[in-house]
Amino acid sequence: MPSVASSATRLFNGFFEWFGSLGIFSWQVLRAAVTPPYEWRELIRQLDEVGSKSLPLVAMAGAAIGVIISLEARYSLSRFGAKSMFPATLVYSVIQVMGPVITGLVVSGRVGAGMGAELASMKVTEQIDAIEASAINPYRLLAATRILACILMLPLLTLATDACALLTGWFAQALVEPLSFHQFIESGFSGATFNAFLPQTFKTTVYGLIIGLIACFQGMRTRGGAAGVGRAATNSVVLASLFLILADVVLVKFILVFFP
């Protein structure tokens, strides 16, 4: 019993210690981000790293999701005699539900692991200490630019995912039954308002914040050499994906209340 109680106490303390360290890290990054000089060149490089290099992955994921939803929706709607609702079902399913979440998880897997491993490698090889010794704020150069790049790129990548999903979803339907793309778009978006889609897209900025913050935090606090680099990469993906899904639960409720 004493060992169980001590283990539970260590786990409890470690849980709050981790969140406390994350809060301190967030404040240091925020303070560094709003004070000059600004690292515009590094920010542009990170925008390319997060955005351009993630585009093929999110496009393929969106294309696959579009086909899957198309097949499932056609089968389900046919059973209830509601085949005319297929365009609207596909559009709302992709843009409001699947597109943002799939984009966040794909980017979390690629960018989160990459950032965590890169910063962890810099930490264990003392490159971050060298940057700090050169009178350069590592929170501004390394963390703030990466987090901001994730925040800015996630909505754009989500739009790419949505576009690919709708295109392949329509194509999968058109192979079975004649359906022009113009008719598909007109039927799918009829009666839709900006409040139905914009909040769902821009909530991915929160996903970007989570991915960038967790990856940078895990990378810059790494210890233990090569094994620590591996742990940082793994923890970055796992924790970012977990917090992303939890954030989605909160954001969905928030959007339903404020954007009915």
Spans of all domains in the chain? 2-258
Tens digits of pLDDT across the chain (260 residues): 456 667 777 777 777 888 888 889 999 999 988 888 888 898 999 999 998 889 999 999 999 999 998 888 877 777 777 777 888 888 888 888 889 999 999 999 989 888 988 888 888 888 888 888 888 888 888 899 999 999 999 999 999 999 999 999 888 888 888 878 888 888 888 877 777 788 888 899 999 999 999 999 998 888 877 788 888 888 889 999 999 999 999 998 888 887 76
pTM listed for this prediction: 0.90
- Cis ω on the peptide bond leading into residue 37 (within 30° of 0)? yes
126: left (phi over 0), alpha (psi -120 to 50) or beta: left
Specify the pLDDT at position 122.
87
Dihedral (C-alpha) 29, 223, 113, 237: value to the nearest 10 degrees?
-90
Instruction: Write down the residue that tokens 């843009």 correspond to.
Output: 95
Please give the pLDDT value at position 93: 86
What are the backbone angles phi and psi of residue 112, rounded to the nearest 5°?
-60, -45
Residue 89, both tokens: 């079902």
Answer for the pair 156, 69: CB distance below 8 angstroms, yes or no: no
CA atoms 105, 213, 215, 58: torsion sign: positive
Phi/psi at 183 (nearest 5 deg)? -65, -40
φ, ψ dihedrals at 84, nearest 5°? -65, -20
Contact predicate 65/94, CB 8 Å: yes
